[in-house]
Amino acid sequence: MTIKTLPFFASTPKGMELLLADEIRSFNASDVKEANGGVEFNGDIETALRACLWSRLANRILLPLSQFTAETPEALYAAASKIDWSKHFDVTNSFAIDATLRQSKMTHSLYAEQVIKDAIVDQFKENTNDRPSVERDQPDIRINAYVHRDKVTLSLDLSGDSLHRRKYRAESVEAPLKENLAAAILMRAGWPAIAKKGGALYDPMCGSGTFLIEAALMAGDIAPGLLREYYGFKAWKQFNPSIWERLIKEAEYRRDKGFENIPPITGSDLSIKTSGIAKANIKTAGLKNYVNAYGHALNQVDPNPDWQPGLFITNPPYGERLGDIKSLEPLYQEIGTILKARFDGWDATVFTGNPNLAFQVSLKSHKSYQLYNGALPCKVFNFTVSPERYFNTPDSGSSLYQRNPDNIKKALLPTPGPLQEGATMLANRLRKNIRKIEPWAKKNNISCYRLYDADLPEYALALDVYTEAQSGNRWVHVQEYEAPKTIDGKKSLQRLRDALAAIPDVLKIHRTHLSLKIRRRQKGSAQYEKQDTDSGFYVVNEDNCKFQVNFKDYLDTGLFLDHRITRQMLGTLAKGKRFLNLFAYTSTATVHAALGGATSSTSVDMSNTYLDWSKTNFELNNLDQQKHTLVRANCVEWLDDAIENLRVYDLIFIDPPTFSNSKRMSEVFDIQKDYINLINKASQLLARDGIIIFSTNSKKFKFDEAEFENFEIENISRKTLPKDFERNPKIHYCWKLTKN
């Protein structure tokens, strides 16, 4: 009997294709070939089912059903209709379509999904006088449509849901590491070979326990898909249950045998709550007798002397915003200190999105690999902990954030006597800027503006002036950029003191009205806290709007000054319009739109803190909160609901984060990867001649106008750049899209 060989495609996150290709070969696949975002391979049905059960790296296993060219919805419908869908599922089954469009003349993925759905439903109605139902969450059959430059591949999604979801998460934490990414890091760390020799594993920042569980599954020869009950092939007509039952029995046998091969695997976390979540996940994974998690601070980490030296692995925070990198240096230095003091002879792996922070571990890496956390490029650094691999850490005074808190307090104290030479140089530049900016600000009734933005390389600060609405008191909000590597610690500290002496003197403010944002770690490995425990809220004016700002408690003040012109533009455009503000933050744009004459508005954000802040801004401006509503939701998911409920808006403002993998989001959001889908979804809510204002502060962002043929597009980045931000033209990018 000849076994039928079929083509398949296993998708995987960027950077993992090579590892996945090796894994797919281990399933007896043939013609294995790496491709962008996955691996092509041939095999029989059993090969594909084995990949669904055993792949630690794949997202989905797809069986291509048809490949064709379709430049229009009509062509897509015609081609989808040629497939005999009754060979794959019955009218009694539910189904769903997932479409991804890249550089296609068709621009709306949801519309493409609808066209394919109509083709399938119409075919069943014609042949059976009945139709299958559509189910988004867990359909019996999931169909994948991939369109690239009008070439369409329609595939059956055998996995049904992303294979990284192993179903052992009883609970999750903020920004958990995806399971297949954790598996790839462990493979790059050499864990399978270490485990085979009996080496232990320790993760000192274990979070929800992902490294621990994935390491145990590997060491114990346990199929990652054993806990999953839902797969996309189970309702497929060509599915052979007996093959699956045999694969499951084989996997259960290998698991039961493999338990005895799991070496000591332990993790700890500063947060008792987080370590409790890890324990719950370990228990759900069936590994409570083999894996341990504790609530320990980093400085308490110590391997059991009975353990055989193995792998120390960690995924520490790596910072995305101003000030974060410097604040994290002590953490990485502490990792290096603990490794050298307690883990001699071990291998160590650090996964980070900021390679410069890995340098602070003060060990020479013998190998590094690039992987991606979502769309964020990250690196796996592998170390051997032995004296010959040590190197000296940078001068411990090279960063304000590396110093003792008492030194920070000293830095904030005024320097007695006249200004030093450095302070005088900075003072002269501030006076020059004042002569240029203040007359402009006064003429344009601007009370909050940027006065200085690292104009002098030696004084790498951003300095914003805010004037209180009632008292007229001025506040100066200072944020420190990372100092150049050529500046040693003592000079860095002295220059900061120079700056903090010069600023109040030049601007004639009391020192208590100067706010310096320092994100430093507390004692040992304590968690990061708010900037201050005092309430730092004040009210400022912008045009005819009033806004609450905060100078002490948060890194951001609640008012992005570089968007001043954008907000004014929205206020002008909003007259008589229905306004939607996505990723609303503190809803300052909504206030401008409402006072500009918007008939109604909806502001959507995931953060309760920002929505409470928004409510205060609404109250300050006497907005009718029946007409102007606040919604707590994931914006992408909310758009799907709004489309389904036929909501309509005339003006939409979209200012998303560059990257987010919040626990409140089911998928990682990356602006470069997801902006097309985001704008396309928002466009389905637009009335005729409606307008989208889209903005981002991602410096590397590229906007492809060809993706939006149904819009007139204008790059308004320069138009929306205020005079006080001219020194930094990349502070944001902005486009106006008018619906044809």
Q: What range does the domain containing 663 cover?
A: 560-739
| Alpha-carbon distances of 400 from 305, 316, 321, 504, 526, rounded to whole Å | 37, 20, 17, 20, 18
Do 642 and 600 form a contact (C-beta atoms < 8 A)? no
Residue 207 lies in a domain: yes
- Nearest-angstrom CA–CA distance, 574 and 570: 6
Regarding whether 152 and 33 lie in a shared domain, the answer is yes
Do 12 and 38 form a contact (C-beta atoms < 8 A)? yes
Q: Can you give the pLDDT at residue 671?
A: 87
Do 132 and 95 form a contact (C-beta atoms < 8 A)? yes
Regarding whether 436 and 306 lie in a shared domain, the answer is no
Regarding whether 106 and 30 lie in a shared domain, the answer is yes
Regarding whether 721 and 669 lie in a shared domain, the answer is yes
Please, how many CA atoms are within 13 Å of residue 596, restricted to the half-sphere of its CB? 23
Residue with tokens 């001043």: 564
| Alpha-carbon distances of 224 from 171, 388, 635, rounded to whole Å | 18, 38, 31
Can you give the pTM of this predicted structure? 0.60
Regarding whether 719 and 692 lie in a shared domain, the answer is yes
Regarding whether 421 and 372 lie in a shared domain, the answer is no
The sign of the torsion formed by the CA atoms of 327, 183, 658, 609 equals negative
Amino acid symbol at 15: G
Q: Can you give the pLDDT at residue 531?
A: 40
Residue 525 lies in a domain: no
Helices and strands: H and E segment counts in the chain = 19, 30
Residue 333 lies in a domain: yes
Regarding whether 430 and 363 lie in a shared domain, the answer is no
What is the maximum alpha-carbon separation in the chain?
96
Listed residues 327, 359, 393: the one ending a domain: 393
Regarding whether 269 and 293 lie in a shared domain, the answer is yes
Residues pairing with 269 in the sheet: 295
Q: Can you give the pLDDT at residue 554?
A: 76
Residue 27 lies in a domain: yes
Q: Can you give the pLDDT at residue 482?
A: 60
Q: Can you give the pLDDT at residue 110?
A: 86
Q: SS3 for 544?
A: coil
Q: How many domains is the chain built from? A: 4
Residue with tokens 């139709």: 131
Residue 174 lies in a domain: no
Q: Can you give the pLDDT at residue 552?
A: 77
State both tokens at 450.
């940027």
Please, how many CA atoms are within 13 Å of residue 592, restricted to the half-sphere of its CB? 23
Residues pairing with 43 in the sheet: 6
State both tokens at 302.
């110590």
- Nearest-angstrom CA–CA distance, 393 and 395: 6
Regarding whether 135 and 26 lie in a shared domain, the answer is yes
Helix crossing, 179-188 with 17-25: angle to 10°?
Answer: 90
Contact partners, residue 126, CB within 8 Å, separation at least 6: none
Regarding whether 699 and 570 lie in a shared domain, the answer is yes
Listed residues 349, 369, 393: the one ending a domain: 393
Q: Can you give the pLDDT at residue 466?
A: 96
| Burial of 87: CB neighbours in 10 Å, binned 0-12, 13-18, 19+ | exposed
State both tokens at 295.
């609530």
Do 505 and 420 form a contact (C-beta atoms < 8 A)? no
The CATH number of the domain holding residue 26 is 3.30.2130.30
- Nearest-angstrom CA–CA distance, 547 and 557: 10
Do 565 and 543 form a contact (C-beta atoms < 8 A)? no
First-residue to last-residue Cα distance in the chain: 59
Amino acid symbol at 190: G
- Nearest-angstrom CA–CA distance, 336 and 345: 14
Residue with tokens 């007509």: 237
Q: Can you give the pLDDT at residue 709?
A: 84
Listed residues 365, 393, 421: the one ending a domain: 393
- Short-list 186, 153, 150, CA closest to 35: 153
In this structure, what DSSP letter does residue 363 have?
B
Residue 122 lies in a domain: yes
| Burial of 371: CB neighbours in 10 Å, binned 0-12, 13-18, 19+ | buried
- Short-list 558, 553, 557, CA closest to 530: 553
For β-strands 94-102 and 133-134, DSSP reports them as: parallel
- Short-list 530, 531, 521, CA closest to 335: 521
Q: Which residues of the chain have pLDDT under 50?
A: 1, 321-323, 393-416, 484, 519-534, 663, 665-666
Please calculate the CA angle 528-533-539 and round it to the nearest 5 degrees: 115
The sign of the torsion formed by the CA atoms of 717, 722, 725, 731 equals negative
Contact partners, residue 194, CB within 8 Å, separation at least 6: 201, 310, 311, 347
Regarding whether 381 and 296 lie in a shared domain, the answer is yes
Over 449-462, what HEC string results? Answer: EEEEECCCCCCCEE
The CATH number of the domain holding residue 596 is 3.40.50.150
In this structure, what DSSP letter does residue 483 have?
P
Provide, for the chain, the percentages of residues in helix, strand and coil under a 3-state DSSP scheme, each rounded to the nearest 5.
35, 25, 40
- Short-list 222, 7, 239, CA closest to 141: 239
Regarding whether 148 and 91 lie in a shared domain, the answer is yes
Residue 300 lies in a domain: yes
DSSP, residue by residue, 127-185: HHS--PEE-SSS-SEEEEEEEETTEEEEEEESSSS-TT--S--SS--SSPPPHHHHHHH
- Nearest-angstrom CA–CA distance, 118 and 253: 45
Contact partners, residue 249, CB within 8 Å, separation at least 6: none
Residue 251 lies in a domain: no
Do 349 and 382 form a contact (C-beta atoms < 8 A)? yes
H or E stretch covering 568: helix 564-573
